[in-house]
Structure 1
Amino acid sequence: MEASPLILRAHDWVVELDPAHGGQIVRADWQGLPALAPGQAGRAAADQHAGCFPLVPFSNRIRDAAFRFLGREIHLPPPEYMEPHALHGTGWRTSWSAEASGPGNARMWFEHPRGPWPWRYRAEQTVSLEAGQLHISLSILNLDSEPMPAGIGLHPYFVRPQGLWLNAHTGGRWATLPGETGLPHARDAAPEDLGAPGHDHCFFGWDRRAEFGGADGLAVSITASPALGNLVIYTPPDEAYFCLEPVSHVNNAVNMDALAQAEQMAVLAPGEQLQGAMTISVRPA
Structure 2
Amino acid sequence: MGKKQCAALLQYIPQVGEKIANLNKIRSLVSAAVVKARDGGSLLSLAVCPELSLTGPVHSLNIEMIHRLGEADDGETMCEMKKLAQMYHTHLVFGMIEKDQHLFYNTIYAVAPNGDIVGKTRKMHLTTVDERWAAPGKEIVTAELKGIGTAGLMVGYDAAYPEMAGVLAVKRVDFIIIPSCWYGEFGETMALHTKMMENKFPANTMTTWDAIARFSQAQTLIANFTGTSLGCMGGSALYTLDPIYGGESPIVASPDEEEALVVPLNNSPKDWWFDQQKLLLSRRIQFYKPLVKNM
TM over 0.5: no
- Length-normalised TM-score, structure 1: 0.32
- Length-normalised TM-score, structure 2: 0.32
Q: Higher strand share goes to which structure?
A: 1
